Chain A
Amino acid sequence: DIQLTQSPSFLSASVGDRVTITCRASQGITKFVAWYQQLPGKAPKALIYAASTLQSGVPSRFSGSGSGTEFTLTITSLQPEDFATYYCQQLESYPLTFGQGTRLDIK
């Protein structure tokens, strides 16, 4: 199984800040990493797929990059609606797995 480790697990930031979340895999992944945003009590929402492709309708302040065992999600100029929990997911092989999540709070 491919294990994913996100860092940090908790992040405190202010509106307008730039933040980066890292997702490290226990073995190499070609490109099948997705990122999701989850607001409290809501279903996950896809942000990024294939490591760096922005899902339709997602603001361009979100971006993804990476390959191999390290992937990142970057949010530039944080907006109030961005304070949520973020998860990476690998879809390289079964079982599909998630990172433990990164909770982004307002400072």
Chain B
Amino acid sequence: EVRLVESGGGLVQPGGSLRLSCVTSGIYFSSSYMGWFRQAPGKGLEWVANIRFDGSESYYVDSVRGRFTISRDNPQNTLFLQMNSLRAEDTAVYYCARYVRGGLQYFDFWGQGTLVNVSS
């Protein structure tokens, strides 16, 4: 059974930091590209960042570049999102997902999400 389980969300003040984790099982994590998404309350989906299977390349949406860092620990089958200089507009449910490539290009398995609330 495939499982992706996010954690690390919570209430944080503007300007603060949080580190999200996504523990995976049932997938070949060390050969999988991975991504983070978010969904603000009542809003649509937004892609946040992707990372290559070996961690050598990463990509970000402009609104988080320079503030967020995606990383991974392959031996621990875990994906991370370090979020610094948080803003009210970063408030959202954050999802991790596996990115299928090889001419297919889509996200097949998703976690259940973790809520980040940036508020004073």
Interface residues of A, Cβ cutoff 8 Å to B? 32, 34, 36, 38, 42-46, 49-50, 53, 55, 87, 89, 91, 94-101
B residues in contact with A55, CB < 8 Å: 106, 108
- Of B46, B62, B106, B107, chain A has the most CB atoms within 10 Å of the CB of B106
- Asked whether B110 lies within 8 Å of A44 as measured between CB atoms, the reply is yes
Also in contact, A91 and B105, with CB within 8 A (given A44-B45, A96-B47): yes
Contacts between chains A and B (CB distance < 8 A), count: 61
Count residues of chain B with CB under 8 A from any CB of chain A. Answer: 24
Interface residues of B, Cβ cutoff 8 Å to A? 35, 37, 44-47, 50, 59-62, 95, 97, 100, 103-108, 110-113
- Asked whether A95 lies within 8 Å of B61 as measured between CB atoms, the reply is yes
* 5 chain-A/chain-B pairs, Cβ below 8 angstroms: A43-B112, A96-B50, A97-B47, A98-B45, A101-B45
